[in-house]
Amino acid sequence: MAPGEKNPRPIGRHLGPYQIIALVGKGGMGEVYRARDARLGRDVAIKVLPPGLARDAARLHRFTTEARAVAALNHPNIVSIYDIGSHEGAPYIVSELLDGAEMRAQLDKGAIEPQRALEYAQQIARGMAAAHEQGIVHRDLKPENLFVTKDDRVKILDFGVAKLRAPAGEGTSAETQTNPGTVLGTVAYMSPEQVRGEQADHRADIFAFGVILHEMLSGSRPFRGTTGVEVMNAILNAEPPPVAGTDGARIDPQLAGIVRRCLEKSRQRRFQSASDLAFQLEALSQRSGTAPSAVAQPVRRGRARYAWPAVCAALALAALWFGISDLRHSRNTLPVTRFQVALPEKAAFVPWVENNGLSVAPDGCCLAFVATSDGQSSLWLRRLNAVAAEQLPGSAEAISPFWSPDSRFVAFAAGGKLKKIAIAGGPPGDDLRPAHEVA
């Protein structure tokens, strides 16, 4: 082949053991083909990346490592990767063949009906959480990388492909390596730290998620401009407009609040984990009567359908029991005490948790609250006779703390279960009987 001559499309040829059947689509990151895997008797999708993106051996190695990690995820909201290889200097990825269209096809028609947008959002957040828990960050989440199947399952595409991108050039797609000082991502969905060329972590994906959810609900992106520079300036300096539905569609204020929290300029003020984000969306869905899509988590279909309603019911019963007991002890009135809560360095209150989860012990000895440290939310305890707050072990992702009547235990919800911790010490337990019955 002569220098500069374009490699002809390999229709009818083989890439390794895969016979190419037809071109499915193409974009800046390569072409996608339908292919036949004769060994297993199934059709697959093969994305062939431009050869120039693989010339840097270090970047290709990072991409290969991450592709293997994504292949191990096996999550219903992340496209399954079957194989990776190289053909005539061009790397390719073999994945499941999906039937449907990119989310961009829906957004090109305008806003998505709020209930459907909430279902999509839950699925995306669950997929992100599964990847983030394995240390995998997408870095280029956008509607073009979200695929909606014909049965309304959302699949996240192209994890790891961003690591092959070349330095930013002209146009609206400014994409490059992950080294500090360089820009990565598609401009409209970039986080402020990506625009500034800083090292991005999982919270950049949460910002991009906020942009996508805003676009799903309102039909337009929150940060706009006629050039990439104008869009970047808006991301850094402009406040996103309020989420407003089209054609009179009402947007739940709590859902709008979730969007705002995702779009905080400071990554410290966003949701600190995709699992926290997914929980908030699912709690909102349960409250509004919108059950998660039956296709979102088929593996857990038998249990997840009832898990959180049961937890909510248990919380209500426990709170009622404690409330009745508090009435019994209402004669023991305590004087009003005012004090400041000083958090340890690098810890912060969780802004998306109502009232920061503050809960005072019935005897006034302690204050329990939810805060984050090192990107992980958990339960903290401030004793009135102590200067600093202490983190309660085993309380990761805790919400809604409440106390036993004797102030010996603090209970909370986490991971779909009710748990309790003795403030005198000891591991958390799942026994939900009243404290005096298990003392």
Helix (H) or strand (E) holding 380: strand 376-383
Q: Is pLDDT above 60 for 40?
A: yes
User: Which residue among 43, 56, 99, 140 is the active-site one?
Assistant: 140
The burial class, CB within 10 Å (0-12 / 13-18 / 19+), for 435 is: buried
Percent above pLDDT 90 for the chain: 37
Q: What sections of 134-269 are H helices per DSSP?
A: 192-195, 202-218, 228-237, 253-262
CA dist 214 and 244 (Å) reads 9
CB burial of residue 198 (10 Å; 0-12, 13-18, 19+): middle
Q: What pLDDT is stored for residue 381 in this prediction? A: 85
Kindly report, residue by residue over 355-390, the tens digit of the pLDDT.
Answer: 556 788 888 788 888 887 766 778 888 887 777 788
Q: At what angle do helices 274-288 and 253-262 cross, to 10 degrees?
A: 170
CA 167 to chain centre: 27
pLDDT, tens only, 402-419 = 888 888 888 887 766 778
For the chain, the structural domain boundaries read: 14-96, 100-296, 326-438
CA dist., res. 390 & res. 374, Å (int) = 15
Q: Which residue has the tokens 């990346």?
A: 49
CATH architecture assignment, domain 100-296: Orthogonal Bundle (1.10)
Q: How many helices (H) does the chain have, and how many strands (E)? A: 10, 17
Model pTM score: 0.62
- Nearest-Å Rg of the Cα atoms of the chain is 25
What phi, psi does 17 have (nearest 5°)?
A: -85, 5
Q: Which fold has domain 14-96?
A: Phosphorylase Kinase; domain 1 (3.30.200)
Q: Are 33 and 48 in contact (CB under 8 A)?
A: yes
Question: What dihedral do alpha carbons 227, 230, 234, 236 form, nearest 10°?
Answer: 110
Active site residue 247: no
**Phi, psi dihedrals of residue 237, rounded to the nearest 5°:** -125, -25
Q: Is 416 left (phi over 0), alpha (psi -120 to 50) or beta?
A: left
Residue 301 banded pLDDT, cuts 50, 70, 90: very low
Q: Which residues are CB-contacts of 136 (< 8 A; sequence separation ≥ 6)?
A: 66, 69, 70, 73, 159, 160
What's the sign of the alpha-carbon dihedral 413, 419, 425, 427? negative
Q: Which of 86-95, 97-106, 161-170, 423-432 has the highest mean pLDDT?
A: 97-106
Cα 222 to Cα 280: distance, rounded to the nearest angstrom: 21
